[in-house]
Amino acid sequence: MKKPESPRQIKTKTKKESLSREEQQKQLEFQKEAVVHLNSLYNYALHLTMNPDDAEDLVQETYLKAYRFFNSFERGTNCKAWLFKILKNNYINRFRKNSREPGKVDYDLIKDFYHSIKDTRSDTTEAESDYFHSLLHEEVYQALHSLPEEFREVIQLCDIEGFTYEEIANMVESPIGTVRSRLYRGRKLLRAQLEEYAKKYGFNTDTEDQ
């Protein structure tokens, strides 16, 4: 919204040493390009940290860094991929170095986490079919998290986030062939895991949606 530049405004501007046009432009662009991926980043952070508070911190840190280095982002390339990479690095620096053993899966943590998240969603009444539905959700979640991290990560980035192999290869810093083979093996493992759960609950993964 443009206002005519009255002498008074100009005076106020210089006094406050306010935003250059360039900076404003940067912010608008950042909002349009980067902030739109907030939900995706949050979910990725959740997968990594298994903790909503940590996830929130991680995302904030990521956006701070991203904003600071926004000028180094190559326009026209995939901003989401760029953000994911920053987030992953932050995650490694912040969490992996200190707390849990890398790759160790805490099943109770997953169960608790999933239930705590479930409660915050607006759920419809739990009919019996819903029970099986949501049960399968959780089992899928657990199955995914039972995978070794390098398999889980590529499945997440490919199947959930929809990145290309090239983008994934860049994010995980491995050749495309490696991404391909991890996806292949990861899916095989996952399939075996899901088979187990499906049997346990008498739910055949062949008959999909009701």
Partner 1 sequence: MNCKKARVLMSAAVDGELTLKEEQDFLAHLAECKECDEEYGEAKKTKMIIKERIVQFKAPQSLINSIMQLTSITAKEHEDTLLYE
Q: Which residues bind partner 1 (CB under 8 A)?
A: 3, 8-9, 12-13, 16, 18-19, 23-24, 27, 30-31, 35, 38-43, 46, 52, 56, 59-60, 63-64, 67, 117, 120-121, 136-137, 140-141, 144, 155, 158-160, 164-165, 180-181, 183-184, 187-188, 190-191, 194, 205-206, 208-209
CB atoms within 10 A of CB 155: 18
Give the nearer residue to partner 1 in terms of CB position, either 97 or 149. Answer: 149
CB of 202 to partner 1, least distance (A): 17
CB of 101 to partner 1, least distance (A): 24
Q: List the structure tokens of 52.
A: 């909503």
Give the nearer residue to partner 1 in terms of CB position, either 111 or 137. Answer: 137
CB of 165 to partner 1, least distance (A): 5
**Cβ–Cβ under 8 Å, residues 96 and 113:** no
CB of 38 to partner 1, least distance (A): 5
Residues in Cβ contact with 138 at an 8 Å cutoff, skipping those fewer than 6 apart: 111, 114
Give the nearer residue to partner 1 in terms of CB position, either 70 or 96. Answer: 70
Give the nearer residue to partner 1 in terms of CB position, either 56 or 101. Answer: 56
| Half-sphere CA count of 147, side-chain side, radius 13 A | 27
* Helical segments of 97-209, H only: 107-120, 128-145, 149-155, 165-172, 176-200
CB of 105 to partner 1, least distance (A): 16
Where do we find the tokens 């609950």?
Answer: 201
Give the nearer residue to partner 1 in terms of CB position, either 15 or 97. Answer: 15
Residues in Cβ contact with 102 at an 8 Å cutoff, skipping those fewer than 6 apart: 96, 149
E strand or H helix that includes residue 59: helix 52-68
